[in-house]
Amino acid sequence: MSRALFIIDVQNDFTEGGALGVEGGTAVAAGITELLERAASDYDHVFASRDWHDAVGDNGGHFALDGATPDYVVTWPVHCVAETEGAAYHPSLDTSPVTVHVTKGQGVPAYSIFEGTTDAGETVSAALESLGVTDIDVVGIATDYCVLASARDALDAGRRVRVFRDLVAGVAPESSAKALADLADAGAVITESR
Residues whose CB falls within 8 Å of the CB of residue 21, separated by 6 or more in sequence, listed in order: 13, 14, 15
132: CB partners within 8 A, 6+ apart? 1, 2
Task: Identify the CATH class of 2-170+187-191.
Answer: alpha beta
Residue 16, φ and ψ in degrees, nearest 5: -50, 130
Residue ranges of domains in the chain: 2-170+187-191
Query: Alpha-carbon distance 136 to 183, whole Å?
Result: 13
* Structure confidence at residue 168 (pLDDT): 98
Q: Which residues contact 92 (CB under 8 A, 6 or more apart)?
A: 26, 29, 30, 33
In the predicted model, is pLDDT for residue 144 greater than 90? yes
How many Å apart are CA 98 and CA 29, to the nearest integer?
A: 13
pTM score > 0.85 for this model?
Answer: yes
- Residues 57-106 pLDDT 10s: 999 999 999 889 999 889 999 999 999 999 999 999 999 999 999 999 99
Q: Is the Cβ–Cβ distance between 154 and 146 less than 8 Å?
A: no
Average pLDDT over residues 139-155: 98
Residues designated catalytic: 9, 104, 146
Mean pLDDT for the chain overall: 96
Q: What is the dihedral of CA 139, 159, 179, 94, to 10 degrees?
A: 10
Q: In 3D, which of 45, 35, 63, 1 has the Cα closest to residue 140?
A: 35
Q: What is the pLDDT of residues 164-184, one digit of tens each?
A: 999 999 999 999 999 999 999
Contact criterion met (CB below 8 Å) for 149 and 109: no
Tens of pLDDT, residues 23-32 = 999 999 999 9
Separation of alpha carbons 39 and 33, rounded Å: 10
**Among 43, 6, 50, CA closest to 163:** 6
